[in-house]
Amino acid sequence: MHYRFLAACRRERTDVTPVWFMRQAGRYMPEYRAVRERYGFLQMVKTPELAAEVTLQPVRAFAVDAAIVFADILPLLEGAGLRLTYEHGEGPVIHNPLRAPGDIAALHDADPRETVAYTLDAIRLVKRDLSGKVPLIGFSGAPFTLAAYAIEGGSSRDYRRTKVLMYTEPEAWRALMDRLTGLVSAYLIAQIEAGADAVQIFDSWAGALAPGDYAEYVLPFVQRCIATVRAGFARDPAPPMIYFGVDLGGMSGLLRQTGADVIGLDWRITLDEGWAQLGPGVAVQGNLDPHVLLAPWPEVRRRAADILDRAAGRAGHIFNLGHGIVPETPVDTVRRLAEFVHEYSVERTI
């Protein structure tokens, strides 16, 4: 079956620009809030039927060109022995963070097919219920972002503990990144085996690093992860791989070296400039500031049109936000935006 989203990932021509939204299943939707009122967040993630239902909500509501499985990046760490909870007003909390080389050495080996089997089951349910309507995206946190969460114990403003361990304990850092790279690779392969048509790697915190540190301490592990997943599938074409990080506009040359089929851009760089820096041979995803969706519709329309104009109809553009939809976003704005992207781009694709 021909899907315009997958075609764009492969830099093929499409009839219109495909569109999906990071965090398109979330609190801004009343259908999501109705489920969330009855179940805790982790309960939703870990119950395949609930995760599948939430995944499908935006596909039913909007003209999006892909679904993305409802999951979270951090439960993958539980299998390695980290204790995770979501605290009201604080977000994720890891209660036994990694603060010394001995903590890293004590991590458990984990098989994602067992430790996060609920997400794989959710993927199977979603694929069944989609009935070929749109493709399904799986995802994982990147090795660095998972490492940073594990070291900081939760969110951080400056990632001080992560950087200190990275600089002062290089062998322990490599050991942690080796372990997480293997874990992420196995998880993504398992998601594709379960039915995911493409996968995205979220490196949400990599923008905290200087380019030189990214090149030395992060890039080799991203490259290995992508190469490992790609080598795990002999089918042609292989499932596309998307790499997205926040505030990485100054690292375009390095991002090209990841080997990803698609690079996601946030709003801190214009789409045409970011694409030019990445060069040919890579698709681009992005890059509307999600807070623009809180503005009146004429402003949303103007900003979206500007991005599409900068893409200039070139094959390989996937319209998305530069980060996830924020909870206050009006549902009607999301609906109108998805429709507008298709309508506006229909005569611009080449």
Q: Which residues of 229-264 are buried (b: 16+ CB within 10 A; e: fewer)?
A: bbebeeeeebbbbbbbbbbbbebbebbbebbbbbbb
User: Given the structure tokens 């490992």, which residue do they identify?
Assistant: 228
Element (H, E) at 147: helix 143-152
How many whole angstroms separate alpha carbon 9 and alpha carbon 110? 31
Helical ranges in 195-259 per DSSP H = 211-217, 219-231, 252-256
- Given the residues 4, 28, 72, 203, select the one marked as catalytic: 72
Backbone angles phi, psi at 314, to 5 degrees: -65, 140
DSSP for residue 320:
E
Query: Closest by alpha carbon to 137, among 327, 1, 258, 3?
Result: 3
On the question of a cis peptide bond just before residue 170, with omega within 30 degrees of 0, the verdict is no
Type of residue found at 320 = N
332 is catalytic: no
Q: Please pick, among 27, 256, 335, 348, the residue that the annotation labels catalytic.
A: 27
- Residue type for position 274: G
Catalytic residue among 10, 36, 99, 174: 36
- Which entry of 4, 11, 23, 230 is annotated as an active-site residue? 23
Residue 320, preceding bond cis, omega within 30 degrees?
no
Q: Is 314 a catalytic residue?
A: no
CB atoms within 10 A of CB 272: 16
| Catalytic annotation present for 217 | no
Catalytic one of 3, 28, 32, 149: 149
Residue 36 is among the residues annotated as catalytic for this protein: yes
- With a CB cutoff of 8 Å and minimum separation 6, the contacts of 246 are 203, 204, 205, 206, 207, 266, 323
Helices 271-278 and 297-311 cross at an angle (nearest 10°) of: 30
Is 149 a catalytic site residue?
A: yes
Kindly list the catalytic residues.
Answer: 23, 27, 36, 72, 149
